Amino acid sequence: MECIIKSMNLQAVARRAKVSTATVSRVINNLDVVRPATRQRVAKAMQDLNYHPNPHARTLAGGKSRTIGMIASNMENPFFFDIFQTLEEDAHANGYEVVVANTGYQPGKLLSSVRMMISRRVAGLAVIVSEMDPALMHELQASKIPAVFYDVGSAGRHITSIKVNYQRGIELLVEHLYSLGHRRMAFIGHDSALGPTSDRERAFKAALARHSKKLKSVVANSIDGLDGGRQAMRDLLATGFNPTAVVCVNDFMAAGALRELRDRGLRVPHEISVTGYDNIKLSEYCFPELTTVDIPRVKIGHIVFESLAGAQGREIVLDPELVIRTSTGPIPASIKIR
């Protein structure tokens, strides 16, 4: 029993409701020029026919879609996912969808993703990445698509910029560690295209320098993720520089780093302290729980949507907050003597 279901279209609905396609379109788009009675009739026809508008046709005809794009560096990292989730909620609540693209921290993918989003005619674009590409801004500017950048770029015509004072967060962490007696600290970062020395690494170095120009430090980078964090810690320990505290670029990597220490029998925080960044849910489930810095991801998600749908071109700065848990503590007694 083959049944050819030629998907319903405006015309079919129009015929059934005995109105023109224009009127059906008006009903679909909630234009309140339609007489209630007519609206009723059309609504019923749509129901009866189980009609669903073709989004592609709508986008093509209208020039704009009901889709918001989000480009992230690493959706596997809960930090990005959390932002996505709030954004999606807001979007759905307003009849939008959101499609995501992952760059994996590769600038090349960033650019191609932006292009793809533009050709998709997204209604707005959220760029939540650590990478940067010079051509990006230009293309985006030209496309006139409302956009919001997180952590990179600056506000402009249709462009909102959300920034978290990363530097400040690192300072809070380093200050906390310093006050606990730590003097030999290391930094674990992730590969990003910002050159050999990333902003974040620099922020760490700068925070150290605040206390004393003579504080030595070591840096290890790897891929963002649990394995990457573990690998970085391995590399770090292999340098022979024995830090009493390790500051990680984010919680995700910190969680991986903790595992390596556990394997080696180095007790945290008794023998070595570790900090994360972001305050993702996982940071509370690590062993030990991570001392970290809170980045308000839910808030960011809301701001992103709002900036895409409403007030554009703003510049927003958020301040991070220190969250002290059990992965940090006083420096080991054996070292105190020195």
Q: Yes or no: say if 87 and 301 are a contact pair by the CB < 8 Å rule.
A: yes
Q: Is 286 left (phi over 0), alpha (psi -120 to 50) or beta?
A: beta
Interface positions, 23-42, toward DNA (CB under 7 A): 23, 25-26, 28-29, 33-35, 37-39
Given a copy of itself, DNA, none, residue 143, with its beta carbon under 5 to 8 Å by kind, binds a copy of itself
Residue 197: Cβ-neighbour burial (10 angstroms; 0-12, 13-18, 19+): exposed
Q: Yes or no: say if 83 and 139 are a contact pair by the CB < 8 Å rule.
A: no
Closest to DNA by CB, 132 vs 309, is 309
Given a copy of itself, DNA, none, residue 20, with its beta carbon under 5 to 8 Å by kind, binds DNA
Answer for which of 3, 4, 5, 6 binds DNA (CB under 7 A) is 6
Residues at the interface with a copy of itself (CB under 8 A) = 3, 5, 52-57, 59-60, 65, 75-76, 78, 81, 85, 88, 97, 99-100, 102, 115-116, 118-121, 142-143, 225-227, 230, 255-256, 258-259, 262, 281-282, 284-287
Answer for which of 15, 49, 58, 321 binds DNA (CB under 7 A) is 58
For residue 106, the minimal CB distance to a copy of itself (Å) is 13
Interface positions, 120-139, toward DNA (CB under 7 A): none
Helices (H) and strands (E) in the chain, counts: 14, 12
For residue 64, the minimal CB distance to DNA (Å) is 7
Nearest to 188 by CA among 258, 132, 130: 258
Helices (H), the chain: 10-17, 21-28, 36-49, 55-62, 78-93, 107-119, 134-143, 166-179, 199-211, 226-238, 251-263, 282-285, 297-309, 333-336
Closest to DNA by CB, 39 vs 200, is 39
Nearest to 39 by CA among 53, 29, 50: 29
Answer for which of 19, 203, 249, 254 binds DNA (CB under 7 A) is 19
Element (H, E) at 160: strand 159-164
For residue 4, the minimal CB distance to a copy of itself (Å) is 9
Given a copy of itself, DNA, none, residue 165, with its beta carbon under 5 to 8 Å by kind, binds none
For residue 24, the minimal CB distance to DNA (Å) is 7
Given a copy of itself, DNA, none, residue 177, with its beta carbon under 5 to 8 Å by kind, binds none
Tokens 């003597």: give the residue.
337
